[in-house]
Amino acid sequence: MSTVTAPTKEAPTKSKNLVEMNWDPITRIVGSLGIFTKIDFANRHVVECHSTSSIFRGYSIFMKGKDPRDAHFITSRICGICGDNHATCATYAQNMAFGVRPPALAEWIVNLGEAAEYMFDHNIFQDNLVGVDFCEQMVKETNPGVFAKAEKTMAPHGDLHGFRTIADIMRALNPFTGSFYREALQMSRMTREMFCLMEGRHVHPSTLYPGGVGTVPTIQLFTDYLVRLMKYVEFMKKVVPLHDDLFDFFYEALPGYEEVGKRRVLLACWGSFNNPAVCDYTYKNMTNWGRAMYVTPGIVVDGKLVTTDLVDINLNIRILLGSSFYDDWQHSETFVKTDPLGNPVDKHHPWNQSTIPRPQKRDFGGKYTWVMSPRWYDKRTGDHLALDTGGGPIARLWATALAGLVDIGYIKSTGHSVKMYLPKTTSLPEVEFEWKIPKWSNAIERDRARTYFQVYAASAALYFVEQALEELHSGRTKTWSEFKVPEEAIGCGFHEAVRGVLSHHVVIRNGKIANYHPYPPTPWNANPRDVYGTPGPYEDAVQNTPIFEENGPDKFKGIDIMRSVRSFDPCLPCGVHMYLGDGKVLETRHSPMFGLQP
Amino acid sequence: MATEAAPYGRVTQKAPAVAEVHIVWITAGLGCDGDSVSITAATQPSIEDVLLGAIPGLPKVHLHNPVLAYENGDDFLKYWYLAEQGKLDPFVLVVEGSIPNEKIKKEGYWAALGTNPKTGQPITTNEWIDRLAPQALGIIACGTCATYGGIHAMEGNPTGCMGLADYLGWGWHSKAGLPIVNVPGCPVQPDNFMETVLYLLYQVAGLAPMIPLDEQLRPTWLFGKTVHEGCDRAGYYEQGDFAESYGSPKCIVKLGCWGPVVNCNVPKRGWMAGIGGCPNVGGICIGCTMPGFPDKFMPFMDEPPGARVSTSAVGAYGRAITALRTLTQATVNKEPKWRHPRAELTTGYHPRSY
């Protein structure tokens, strides 16, 4: 039996004037997202939100019958900003299915590539896409009072980042003309060069394979990477205090801003960076090698760590329908009845999913999106939890902090925080940053965690370079292990895409793909109301959001809603639109969603 | 001495024939936005070089791309509506993602952008192309999905998707007489795309002749050579010294590299700033720039059929190999037959639900 796990925000309201406000498309994200809201301007909050995606491509359908070795090349094309996360996750699933363990050096090369991806992607998203929501032009248009205050507010860490006032930071974030905007864009290129050193091409890698990598490990390879990495390290020593100043200012300038984009703490992280000494890719040992990852997998509910066990995580994934353009697969084939440990596998687990598209008209009272509703079944309570990734970093840092397992010199998890060390660089001394578990899972803390995770990725990369060089210096230069594709097998891969949890689930029969279902982060975040009526995380977070914008309905930009949605780092080549309506007033008593009305 | 004479430094410069140009960029094909992301990596020229006027002779450029736009929702889409009405003149249309076949089902949509204010339903990507193409100065198909269909047009796909030229017709010309310009790549190589944009801007400015394109509508200076011809591992090939496992610095044709028959400059140019690439850094060429991609190259990790002949006969039969390769190259330069705009799905997928 399942229940609605978060209090619904669709409770009757006393306001009579709801204004329909829609944004379609939401820009400065990857992919196609629409957000449809009803706003109560008298009481200054969002009453209802629907999230919709307008693209369907059908990977699970056209991958059937293909060679399982092709899976990582194909699935990379799911996403144009974190395609390599898909390719990597696919090779993890292939390695399990093929029973192959790559040489340690290959794992360090993949870890270095993926670390560069986090460094690049969080950087460009934070400072070239999200940052625009905090830039001078935007703040002036939405909250002129706040901008006036920013002009008068000294940046507490101005000595570290070079901007005297908060308004100076905002000016530097103006698109294309802002100095920090352009510096960040340039930095996003250097980190992509680091990525290309390890994985060949960005964003669809050329050198990843099941069994390892084709990258040629030379002294030059790691030198070229390390030199760039240290420039990024110096950059981050300025960026962390810059963002702390900017985000802290919003709490100060707009009391109550912590409510923007806030939702119950329901965070998921599937773990990242395999440890080659422990990871043998067998399902039977998955619990152990999952806990040895350098970002710890975990589910955090109401601030408590529920599990760090990848087997537990895997078995309780459920794909629900309810508001999506698909037929149920109850009568389709059950591909996997039990996992390799003998545990039963549910019909709504990705291994057993059949994708049956049914294109139809969009109806917000019925079916309205191409995104399905992934949930995690909490066996303690019987709830199907609408977990979110918070855009990735907040969940990764939270799970890693609570688990207390990571301790690699550059990074130490304390059980309540994560400490990260950056060594001396050209012009700045060594620094320690500490990410502490925040009071809320909200827009500002999701954004702040993103900056801190950029440091985490850099610190981890410093460790990986050391480990890779040790292999190289010891003469262990093999980067690929041979394998044979079995006639029958199953596999799963767990990884963290930049914006959160990523899993791939494959079933092989007669040496071909019989079923393949990838679950990227955005379906977890951008999904619609499920069959039990539980809204997806964007919907839930936006429905919670108070309005701080100074504009009324006629000039409304929806900036607080934009900040809420973008804090999740939407990436919807399967996903969401925002369309600014004409501000027409609805009679709430005519809206069946609101139940009893006066 | 005439006082009106231009300062000596400006005498060879010409004002652009057109003062301002808009770029309207649709990412709502069946794609991944990877081409938009890719162009943010370009440095030759960079996106900010073009937008901030850092290159002499160019018109002022206004970019309307959903990944980079300041505006949201209708504030953003107003440029689309203006373009449709002929009020955003001139504009270059960029299309990213493959074009689904919306005619193979009764209702609903495969790809859409924005909401139709009259019906409350999404506006399909195909409808946007129909509205905007007649008004555009020129159209660039960006990336292999938009040019030829790409991954999403693989055998067995449910959407019947295709390349832009399959949709509009290979003989399509803009109102200014320009054919579709195809810049393939999965994703597009960053500088290849920005350089093509730069060329077209020069052409619009009256500073360059008609862009030279091959039969597949690719700029000839970017796609006129094969991967193999630009690969620094070709020396191993010539010596008949082939890699037997991934991670080797030798020629990887036996491991699945299609370089000898694929039109692409990436090994020569690198992926960005001369770094990365494909066979030059240990990644097999899977033919991602080609009309036949992906089907004619799968399974990717098997040795290509032509390579076996070539690798055993290298040197001795140079001419024969060249002839065989030309045949293979002609095949992989053709799209599979199921990519078409007819109102039927012929990909091999048989839907019961639509």
- For the stretch A71-86, pLDDT in tens is 999 999 999 999 999 9
- Chain A contacts of B248, Cβ < 8 Å? 216
Nearest CA in chain A to B31: A573
Q: Is the pLDDT of residue A373 over 80?
A: yes
Q: Directed axis angle between helix A104-124 and helix A179-199, to 10°?
A: 160
pLDDT score for A592 = 28
Contact A58 B159 (CB under 8 A): yes
Nearest CB to A80; choose among B34, B112, B288: B34
Q: How far is A476 from chain B (nearest CA, A)?
A: 12
Which of A35, A60, A77 should we substitute to test contact with B (largest number of B Cβ atoms within 10 Å)? A77
Interface membership of A412 toward B (CB under 8 Å): no
- A363 at the B interface (CB within 8 A)? no
For residue B249, give the chain A residue with the closest CA.
A216
List of chain B residues whose C-beta atoms are within 8 Å of the C-beta of residue A26: 72-73
The predicted pLDDT at position A275 comes to 98
- For chain B, how far is it from start to end, CA to CA, in angstroms? 78
The label of the residue with tokens 């204010």 reads B117
Give residue A575's pLDDT: 34
Q: Tell whether the model's pLDDT for residue A7 goes beyond 70.
A: no
Nearest to B282 among A70, A215, A327 (CB): A215
How far apart, in whole angstroms, are the C-alpha atoms of residue A477 and residue A216? 9
CB contact under 8 A, B107 and A209: no
Interface residue A217 vs chain B (CB under 8 A): yes
Residue B7 has pLDDT above 80, yes or no: yes
Inter-chain contacts counted by CB atoms under 8 A, chains A and B: 298
Question: Which pLDDT does position A16 carry in this prediction?
Answer: 55
Residue A544 pLDDT? 79
Quote the pLDDT of residue B316.
Answer: 54
- The per-residue pLDDT for B308 is 52
Rounded to a whole number of angstroms, the distance from the CA of A204 to the nearest CA of chain B is 7
Mutate to test the interface with B, among A74, A206, A228, A331 (most CBs of B within 10 A): A206
> A185 vs B72: CB contact, 8 Å cut-off?
no
- Closest Cα in chain A, distance from residue B3 (Å): 36
pLDDT at A10: 46
Chain B residues within 8 A of A217 when measuring between CB atoms: 247
Give pLDDT, residue A595: 27
Residues A206, B277: C-beta atoms closer than 8 Å: yes
Of B35, B43, B272, the CB nearest to A196: B272
- Integer angstrom CA distances of residue A151 from A24, A132, A169, B260: 33, 18, 10, 61
pLDDT band at A438 (very low <50, low <70, confident <90, very high): very high
Looking at chain A, the number of H-run helices and the number of E-run strands are: 17, 21
Contact criterion met (CB < 8 Å) for B283 and A137: no
The 10s digit of each residue's pLDDT in A463-521 is 999 999 999 999 999 999 999 999 999 999 999 999 999 999 999 999 999 999 999 99
Work out the average pLDDT over B20-26.
97
Which pair of structure tokens corresponds to residue A203?
């964003």
- Over 80: is that where the pLDDT of B16 sits? yes
Q: Does A57 touch chain B (CB under 8 A)?
A: yes
pLDDT, average across residues B10-31:
93
- Determine the distance in angstroms separating the CA of A129 from the nearest CA of chain B, rounded to an integer: 7
Determine the average pLDDT of the residues in B41-70. Answer: 94
Closest CA to B138 of B52, B27, B217, B41: B217
Query: Pick from A188, A359, A480: which is nearest to B245 by CB?
Result: A480
**Cα A477 from Cα B39, distance rounded (Å):** 34
pLDDT at position B315, please?
Answer: 54
Please judge whether B68 and A175 are an interchain contact, meaning their C-beta atoms are less than 8 angstroms apart. Answer: yes
Lowest mean pLDDT among A412-416, A529-533, B68-72: B68-72
Segment B216-258, tens digit of pLDDT:
999 999 999 999 999 999 999 988 899 999 999 999 999 999 9
Q: Is the pLDDT of residue B124 over 70?
A: yes
Q: Does the pLDDT of residue A15 top 70, yes or no?
A: no
H helix intervals, chain B: 34-39, 47-51, 73-84, 125-132, 144-148, 164-168, 190-204, 220-223, 234-238, 266-269, 305-313, 318-332
Query: Which residues, at least 6 apart from A248, have a Cβ–Cβ distance to it below 8 Å?
Result: A156
A393 touches chain B (CB under 8 A): no
Is residue A17 within 8 Å of A41, Cβ to Cβ?
yes
Residue A596: band (very low, low, confident or very high) from pLDDT cuts 50, 70, 90: very low
Q: Are A68 and B142 in contact (CB under 8 A)?
A: no
Q: Nearest to residue B328, comparing CAs of B298, B302, B307, B313?
A: B307
Quote the tokens at residue B265: 């400059």
Cα of A344 to nearest chain B Cα, Å: 29
Chain B residues with CB under 8 Å of A69 CB are 299-301
Model pLDDT, residue A533: 94
Asked if residues A348 and A320 have their Cβ atoms less than 8 Å apart, the reply is yes
Nearest to A80 among B31, B43, B52 (CB): B31
State yes or no: pLDDT of A8 exceeds 50: no
The Cβ of residue A470 has, within 10 Å, a number of other Cβ atoms equal to: 13
A208, A87 contact by CB (below 8 A): yes
**pLDDT classification of B5: cutoffs 50, 70, 90:** confident
A579: pLDDT strictly greater than 90:
no
Chain A: closest CA distance from residue B294 (Å): 9
Nearest to A132 among B28, B70, B349 (CB): B70
Contact A57 B152 (CB under 8 A): yes
Indicate whether A36 pLDDT > 50.
yes
Residues of B in contact with A327 (CB under 8 A): 353
Half-sphere exposure (Cβ direction) of B32: Cα atoms closer than 13 Å:
30
Place of tokens 């409350």: B120
pLDDT tens digits along A245-297: 999 999 999 999 999 999 999 999 999 999 999 999 999 999 999 999 999 99
Record the pTM. Answer: 0.94
* Contact yes or no for A27 and B67 at CB 8 A: yes
Taking residues B178-205, report their average pLDDT: 97
Indicate yes or no: CB of A70 within 8 angstroms of CB of B51: no
Count how many Cα atoms sit within 13 Å of the Cα of residue A171 in the half-sphere of its side chain: 10
List of chain A residues whose C-beta atoms are within 8 Å of the C-beta of residue B264: none
Residues of chain B in contact with residue A484, where contact means CB-CB under 8 angstroms, are none
Tell me what the pLDDT averaged over chain A comes to.
Answer: 92
**Which of B152, B186, B349 is closest, CB to CB, to A204?**
B186
Minimal CA separation from A358 to chain B, in Å:
5
* For testing contact with chain A, the best of B43, B123, B275 (most A CBs within 10 A): B275
pLDDT on residue B313: 58
Q: What percent of chain B has pLDDT over 90?
A: 84
For A232, the token pair is: 């990024």
Scan for tokens 């935007």, then name that residue: A138
The Cα of B235 is separated from the nearest Cα of chain A by a number of Å equal to 17
Q: What's the pLDDT score for residue B312?
A: 56
Residue A589 has pLDDT above 80, yes or no: no
Q: Which residues of A touch B156 (CB under 8 A)?
A: 61-62, 64-65
Chain A: residue nearest B251 by CA? A214
Q: Answer whether A360 touches B (CB < 8 Å).
A: yes
Residues 6+ apart with CB under 8 A from A588: A13, A15, A16, A17, A18, A594, A597
Contacts of B8 (CB under 8 A, 6+ apart): none
Tokens of B171: 């003989």
- Which of B40, B121, B157 is nearest residue A61 as measured by Cβ atoms? B157
pLDDT at residue A166 greater than cutoff 70: yes
pLDDT for position A28: 85
When pLDDT is averaged across residues A524-549 and rounded to a whole number, the result is 93
CA A62 and chain centroid, separation: 25
Residues of chain B contacting residue A80, judged by C-beta atoms under 8 Å apart: 31-38, 187
Check CB contact under 8 Å for B158 and A137: no
Collapse the DSSP code of A492 into the 3-class scheme (helix H, G, I; strand E, B; otherwise coil) and give the result: strand
What's the pLDDT at A24? 87
Whether residues B48 and A176 touch (CB distance < 8 A) is answered with yes
The residue in chain A having the minimum alpha-carbon distance to the alpha carbon of residue B284 is A206
Residues in A touching B121 (Cβ below 8 Å): 361-362
CB contact under 8 A, A29 and B67: yes
Per DSSP, the three-state class of A250 is helix
Dihedral-angle region of residue B61 (phi above 0 means left; psi in -120 to 50 means alpha; beta otherwise) = beta
pLDDT at A443 over 60: yes
* CA distance, residue B1 to nearest chain A CA (Å): 40
Residues of B within 8 A of A31 (CB-CB) are 27, 32-33
* Residue pair A185/B40 in contact by the 8 Å Cβ criterion: yes
Dist CA A547 CA A557 (whole Å):
11
pLDDT of residue A553: 87
Tell if the CB–CB gap between B34 and A79 is shorter than 8 Å.
yes
**B158-197 core/surface letters (b: 16 or more CB in 10 A; e: else):** bbbbbbbbbbbeeeeebeeebbbbbbbbbbbbbbbbbbbb
- pLDDT for the residue numbered A13: 47
